[in-house]
Structure 1
Amino acid sequence: MSKKEAIERLLNPGSIAIVGVSQDFTSISGKPMKNLIRHQFEGQIYPVNPKYEEIEGFTCYSSLLDIPGDVDVALIAVSSKRMMQILSECEQKQVRSVILFGSGFAETGAEGEQLQEEVLEKAKKARITILGPNCIGLLNVKKSIPLGFSTSFETEEGFLSGNVGFASQSGALGFSLFGLAQEENIGFSHVINTGNQMDIHTLDCIDYMLEDEGTEVVAGYLEGIPDGEMLIRLAKRAKALKKPLIMLKAGRSEIGRKAAMSHTASLTGSDETFQAIAKQYGLVVANDVDDMIDLMKVFSRGKQTKGNRVVTISNSGAAGIAMADYSESLGLELTRLPKETQTKVEDIIPPYGSALNPIDITAQALKEQHILTDTLEALINEDQVDVIVVQTTFGGELGRNICEKIVEMDKTTEKPIVVTITGTKEITGAGRTILEKASVPVYKTSYKTMLAIKHLEDFSRFCRSHEPDQLEHPNVQVEENKDLSGIWTEVRVKKELSSLGIRIPQGTLIKDREHLQEVKTSVPYPVVCKGISKDVLHKTDAGSVKVNIKDAVELEDAYESIVSSIHAYNPDADVDGVLAEEMIQDESVEMFIGVKEDPQFGPLIVCGLGGIFVEVLKDISIRRAPINDNEASAMLKELKGYPLLEGVRGGTRRDIQALTDALVRISQFASAHSGRIQEMDINPLWVFEEGKGVAALDGIIVWKKDEEAVVNVK
């Protein structure tokens, strides 16, 4: 049975056994049965516990083997130490889908981790798929089937069905978020808690939900990323389906990462890497629970933007100013209306209002409701407007009437309409509820409104983008019998860069004093001299760099000084020689390009300002390799130092295209050697004026040991 088939069965069981059930419906082992009864599960319920003969009129069985009918799903609420026995019974009974509620597995340490491995191994041999352990269950919202003990299942009002699917590694957080979202009239299709993810993990559930026809928005809470390649595949699929994939990732801080380990035994990974992957592949990242609910709200409406041109209507000048401020900081355009539409608005609003964007319809709309609705209609019909924001403080009957009209008008257009209602629940709650029930996104503050629009516009733009099927440059081929081991020093790295079409300075590696006498009259003075040793990676720390060497006498002095400095810095250092290369004196901007291997996502390419600035400013951009020209260009534009390349304050524009080409080629090199590179650093890479290219002045590659290498990660 595939993971998708297993999840389908878990969500749509015809018969359920509850192993370890309790008559005490307030206990963890009693609540699953109580919840099934409360929500009138139409299938067969089989309580299993040798202590009871019946529970609430249901025959209670001593073991799974005593159940007369087939069992689609078994809910296991027993001690972890009994799991091997229970799995044996599941195997004999041919139960293929199991939910493990209990803890005591990998999250507890080495002993629990070993038990978890043993349970999983036995389950695989028995062809049993497991959700959990250390989870509180799942909910098929469409059919009101709760399998678990979450307090969110205890509602007497039922569940609000909708188009949001949610997979959460944490049960408490996941179902708390579900409950809060339901209060804001956000409907769900399914909610699944994966816990320790022994077998089925969050990405499996997201995979299922993306293909579910009734699910249009998919959200996930993750403490660890179980499969980086799968996450990227799902992100690509989400784009193809135009279904937003909203992720709340825990473990950003060091303390958070440690907490995640003790919580669900997760390796959380680098947040910096996750954010880069999210940006590259169009994941929508939430910062907290409130943020995720706000995002569910704006995406569940099912509308996308055609651009970032926003117009706001407000009965408060201050609110309009706030919208303008947030628009600018979030990169949204508070667009200027065409003259014809501006004139229409001027004819609608009072003369002391403002038809300029943000539009101030004034408090006169309290008396004349049509002012707001007529203005809204004019903006709906304006092609130069992509998103409309309505900000109001109106409450009571007027507020309800306006909200009802907004709902009617929202149905007539594909253009997103987002509403801000600022005021107490007592005064404005009725109007807000009208909008929520119609899935019109409504927020309480200007900032929340504009942030939601920013995420909506980002995802819409990402869906509109069309990346080329192939990279713009030929792929780098891996040469057979190439020695991919140890440390490649500057000389070897530059040879590789030259083969990639990246300029390197002309130079000679002086291997010893005898060789020095042979070449000292032929080097391209003035030169820079650098000590080359795999045992000294940071040359300036060892004093092994000398610049502006003008003649043979100075070259001999520099050679002796550098060799002595290296041995003083590290007496055991193996010195390959001293590199004497042309001293390029053209004006340039120093950049760096690096590669690091991420255990979850493979090779990542990094760029930023070079020299010491990379450590001081930490102004970097990251992508997963390989990248194309568009992605390389986007990386550069993300840098705070990008204006230096464009020529800030009348400065010289640099060869941005050559830098872009270098990024693409190095990313292809990294991808071709995926799983082998530990780190790669080209620093500095000088970028000359436009048309004069780039030059790599230094570089290093550290290869993984054979036993550490993971070849063909991609």
Structure 2
Amino acid sequence: MSKREAIERLLNPESIAIVGVSKDFTSISGKPMKNLIRHQFQGQIYPVNPKYEKIEDFTCYPSLIDIPGEVDVALIAVSSKRMMQILSECEQKNIRSVILFGSGFAETGEEGERLQEEVLEKAKKAGITILGPNCIGLLNVKKSIPLGFSTSFETEEGFLSGNVGFASQSGALGFSLFGLAQEENIGFSQVINTGNQIDLHTLDCIDYMLEDEGTDVVAGYLEGIPDGEMLIRLAKRSKALKKPLIVLKAGRSEIGKKAAMSHTASLTGSDETFQAIAKQYGLVIANDVDDMIDLMKVFSRGKQSNGNRVVTISNSGAAGIAMADYSEPLGLELVRLPNETQAKVEEIIPPYGSALNPIDITAQALKEQHIFTDTLEALINEDEVDAIVVQTTFGGELGQKICKKIAEIDKTTEKPIVVTITGTTEITGEGRTILEKASVPVYTTSYKTMVAIKQLADFSRFCLSHEEEAHTHGQVGKSEDTSGIWTEVRVKKELSSLGIRIPQGTLIKNREHLQEVKANIPYPVVCKGISKDVLHKTDADSVKVNIKNPAELEEAYESIISSIGNYNPDANIDGVLAEEMIQDESVEMFIGVKEDPQFGPLIVCGLGGIFVEVLKDISIRRAPITDKEAFAMLEELKGYLLLKGVRGGSKRDIQALTEALVRISQFALTHHGRIQEMDINPLWVFEEGKGVAALDGIIVWKKNEEAVVNAK
């Protein structure tokens, strides 16, 4: 049975056994049965506990083996110590899907981890699929089937069905978020909590939800990423289906990472890397629970934006100013309306209002409600506008009338309309509810509204973009000797083969060699000590610049050899590299490669020299990258202005720099699994048309036993 089939069975059981059930319906082991009865589960319920003969009107069985009928899903609410015995009963009874509620597994330490491994091994041999352990359960919202003990299942009003699927590693947070979202009239298709995700994990559930015809928006709360390649595949699938994949990722801080280990035994990984992957592959990132609900709201409407051009309508000048202030840093354009459209708006609003975007219709709309809605209707067919924001403070009967009209207009257009209603629930709540029930996204603050518009515009633009094949700008072959440490001399040879310029130079191996070459070296030169035991030359004072003649070369040679010896008496010295001193005006950059355990080879760039450590102004992508992605990396940098040329400075060769990034990303992919660290620092970028040059570099290769064989 595939994982999708297993999830389908868990969500749609016709018969359910509850092992360890309690007559006390307020307890964790009693709530699952109470919830199934409360929501009128139409299938068979089999309570299992040798203590009881009956629970309510249901026969209670001493073991799973004693159940007379077939069982689709077993809910197991017993001690972790009894788990192996219960799995044996599941195997005998041919139960292939189980939910483990109990804790006491990997989240508790080594002993719990061993037990978890034993349980998984036993389940795999028996062909049993496990959700959990350490989880609250799941909910098929469409069919009102709650399998678990979440407080959210205890509602007497039922569940609001809709098009949002949600997979959460945390049960408490996941179902709390579900409950809050339901209060804002956001409907769900299914909610699944994976807990320690011993077998089925959050990405499996997201995979199922993306393919579910009744689900248009998929959200996930992740503490760890069980499979980086799968997450990227799912992000690509999200784009292909135009179903946004919203992710709230925990464990961004060091304290958060430690907490995640004790919560669900999750290794959270680098947040810096995750954010880069999200940007590259179009994941929609939520920062907290409120943010995720806000995003569910705007995406569940199903509309997309053709761009980032926004017009705002408000009865408050201050609100319009606030939206204008938020739009610029969010990358939204408050578009200038064409003269004809602006003239239409001027005819509708009072003469003391403003038809300039942001449009201020003034408080006159208190008397003449048509001002609001007529202005909105004048804008919905404007091609220069991609999304419309309506802001109002009106409550009571007037507010309700306006909201009804907005909802009616919204149904007539594919253009996103997003509303801000500022005011108390007592005054404005009924109008807000009218919009929510009509699936019009509505928020309480201008900031929330503009963030929602920005995320919608970004995802829409990403869906419209075409995926490009990475262009190598030349062949990238696989290197033979990928072991140990490659010093600058060996790295530069490789970079030269990739078409990246390097300074001309000579490695002076010893004093005798120095005497042979010193008269033939073109001065001035830079001298650098080359040693696998000294990775940062400045720490050992092993760099000398502007060497003008043979005498200064001899002096520099002796000084460098001495400095390295003082820094590390055991250092193995390959020699002193004397190379041309490039004096052209340039901007220092760096390019690096690191192998991420979850996502594979990553390419990093930023300002070079010491700035990379001081400013931490970097951009990251997963290799390989396209020219377009390389250019986007540069644009993200605060230091990009230096490349463009500021205050009279000349523009740098950005094209050559992007080509270097692409080539090195191809090198990283070719050697996927073997590179531990690669740094080219500094990489000088000259004036436009004059290219780039790598002045230093190092590669640290993984040991053979640590290297991952590239399966591609």
TM-score tier by shorter-chain length is: over 0.9
Give 1:650 deviation, angstroms: 2.2
1:648 partner SS: coil
Tell me the amino acid that sits aligned with residue 176 of structure 1. S
Distance in 1 (alpha carbons) for counterparts of 2:429 and 2:167: 30
Give 1:471 deviation, angstroms: 2.8
Distance in 2 (alpha carbons) for counterparts of 1:222 and 1:649: 45
For 1:273-312, list aligned pairs within 5 A.
273-312=273-312
Distance in 2 (alpha carbons) for counterparts of 1:471 and 1:661: 9
TM-score, normalised to structure 1's length? 0.99
Distance in 1 (alpha carbons) for counterparts of 2:214 and 2:262: 35
The 8 Å contact of residues 684 and 698 in structure 1, kept in 2 or not, is answered as yes
Distance in 1 (alpha carbons) for counterparts of 2:49 and 2:103: 19
The 8 Å contact of residues 606 and 623 in structure 1, kept in 2 or not, is answered as yes
Distance in 2 (alpha carbons) for counterparts of 1:376 and 1:471: 46
Distance in 1 (alpha carbons) for counterparts of 2:200 and 2:251: 21
The 8 Å contact of residues 478 and 670 in structure 2, kept in 1 or not, is answered as yes
Give 1:177 deviation, angstroms: 0.1
Tell me the amino acid that sits aligned with residue 303 of structure 2. K
Structure 1 residues 336, 42: CA separation in 2 closer, same or farther (over 3 Å shift)?
Answer: same
Distance in 1 (alpha carbons) for counterparts of 2:510 and 2:545: 19
For 1:466-477, list aligned pairs within 5 A.
466-471=466-471, 473-474=473-474, 476-477=476-477
Aligned to 1:233: 233
Distance in 1 (alpha carbons) for counterparts of 2:489 and 2:271: 34
Distance in 2 (alpha carbons) for counterparts of 1:46 and 1:539: 72
The 8 Å contact of residues 472 and 666 in structure 2, kept in 1 or not, is answered as no
The 8 Å contact of residues 589 and 686 in structure 1, kept in 2 or not, is answered as yes
Q: C-alpha deviations, 1:409-454, integer Å up to 9, x for none?
A: 0011110000000001011000000000111000000000001111
Structure 1 residues 601, 300: CA separation in 2 closer, same or farther (over 3 Å shift)?
Answer: same
The 8 Å contact of residues 655 and 691 in structure 1, kept in 2 or not, is answered as yes
Distance in 1 (alpha carbons) for counterparts of 2:599 and 2:493: 28
Q: C-alpha deviations, 1:197-231, integer Å up to 9, x for none?
A: 00000000000000000000000000000000000
Distance in 2 (alpha carbons) for counterparts of 1:638 and 1:468: 20
Q: C-alpha deviations, 1:181-207, integer Å up to 9, x for none?
A: 000000000000000000000000000
For 1:63-102, list aligned pairs within 5 A.
63-102=63-102
Aligned to 2:505: 507
Aligned to 1:217: 217
Give 1:651 deviation, angstroms: 1.0
Distance in 1 (alpha carbons) for counterparts of 2:169 and 2:507: 55
Give 1:712 deviation, angstroms: 1.1
For 1:120-269, list aligned pairs within 5 A.
120-269=120-269
2:647 partner SS: helix
1:590 partner SS: strand
Distance in 2 (alpha carbons) for counterparts of 1:470 and 1:550: 43
Distance in 1 (alpha carbons) for counterparts of 2:472 and 2:438: 46
Which residue, 647, 650, 668 being the options, matches 1:652?
Answer: 650
The 8 Å contact of residues 470 and 662 in structure 2, kept in 1 or not, is answered as no
The 8 Å contact of residues 315 and 362 in structure 2, kept in 1 or not, is answered as yes
2:298 partner SS: helix
The 8 Å contact of residues 474 and 498 in structure 2, kept in 1 or not, is answered as no
Which residue, 541, 550, 557 being the options, matches 1:552?
Answer: 550
Give 1:522 deviation, angstroms: 1.4
Aligned to 1:426: 426
Tell me the amino acid that sits aligned with residue 551 of structure 1. N
For 1:366-445, list aligned pairs within 5 A.
366-445=366-445
Tell me the amino acid that sits aligned with residue 8 of structure 2. E
Give 1:713 deviation, angstroms: 6.0
Give 1:524 deviation, angstroms: 1.9
Q: C-alpha deviations, 1:673-696, integer Å up to 9, x for none?
A: 011000000000000000000000
Give 1:22 deviation, angstroms: 0.5
Distance in 1 (alpha carbons) for counterparts of 2:589 and 2:477: 26
Give 1:475 deviation, angstroms: 5.2
Give 1:310 deviation, angstroms: 0.4
Aligned to 2:3: 3
The 8 Å contact of residues 170 and 194 in structure 1, kept in 2 or not, is answered as yes
2:620 partner SS: strand
Q: C-alpha deviations, 1:448-471, integer Å up to 9, x for none?
A: 000111111111111111122453
1:167 partner SS: strand
Give 1:477 deviation, angstroms: 2.5
Q: C-alpha deviations, 1:89-114, integer Å up to 9, x for none?
A: 00010000000000000000000000
The 8 Å contact of residues 507 and 524 in structure 1, kept in 2 or not, is answered as no
Structure 1 residues 274, 417: CA separation in 2 closer, same or farther (over 3 Å shift)?
Answer: same
Give 1:649 deviation, angstroms: 1.9
The 8 Å contact of residues 472 and 663 in structure 2, kept in 1 or not, is answered as no
Give 1:369 deviation, angstroms: 1.1
TM-score, normalised to structure 2's length? 0.99
Return 5+ residue gaps in structure 2 as ranges.
Answer: none
1:304 partner SS: coil
Give 1:23 deviation, angstroms: 0.5
For 1:271-670, list aligned pairs within 5 A.
271-471=271-471, 473-474=473-474, 476-479=476-479, 482-670=480-668
Distance in 2 (alpha carbons) for counterparts of 1:496 and 1:135: 51
Return 5+ residue gaps in structure 1 as ranges.
Answer: none
The 8 Å contact of residues 674 and 713 in structure 1, kept in 2 or not, is answered as no
Tell me the amino acid that sits aligned with residue 681 of structure 1. D
Please say if 1:106 is aligned against 2:87. Answer: no
Distance in 2 (alpha carbons) for counterparts of 1:690 and 1:387: 39
Distance in 1 (alpha carbons) for counterparts of 2:468 and 2:539: 44
Give 1:473 deviation, angstroms: 3.1
1:649 partner SS: coil
Distance in 2 (alpha carbons) for counterparts of 1:100 and 1:516: 72
Structure 1 residues 427, 625: CA separation in 2 closer, same or farther (over 3 Å shift)?
Answer: same
The 8 Å contact of residues 472 and 629 in structure 1, kept in 2 or not, is answered as no
The 8 Å contact of residues 602 and 713 in structure 1, kept in 2 or not, is answered as no
The 8 Å contact of residues 470 and 625 in structure 2, kept in 1 or not, is answered as no
Q: C-alpha deviations, 1:623-681, integer Å up to 9, x for none?
A: 00110100000000000000100011221000000000000000000011011000000
Distance in 2 (alpha carbons) for counterparts of 1:168 and 1:478: 41
Distance in 2 (alpha carbons) for counterparts of 1:403 and 1:96: 50
Distance in 2 (alpha carbons) for counterparts of 1:235 and 1:527: 50
Identical aligned pairs, as a percentage? 88
Tell me the amino acid that sits aligned with residue 628 of structure 2. N
Q: How many residues align?
A: 712
The 8 Å contact of residues 469 and 626 in structure 2, kept in 1 or not, is answered as no
Tell me the amino acid that sits aligned with residue 249 of structure 1. K
1:491 partner SS: helix
Distance in 2 (alpha carbons) for counterparts of 1:713 and 1:359: 57
The 8 Å contact of residues 327 and 334 in structure 2, kept in 1 or not, is answered as yes
Tell me the amino acid that sits aligned with residue 454 of structure 1. K
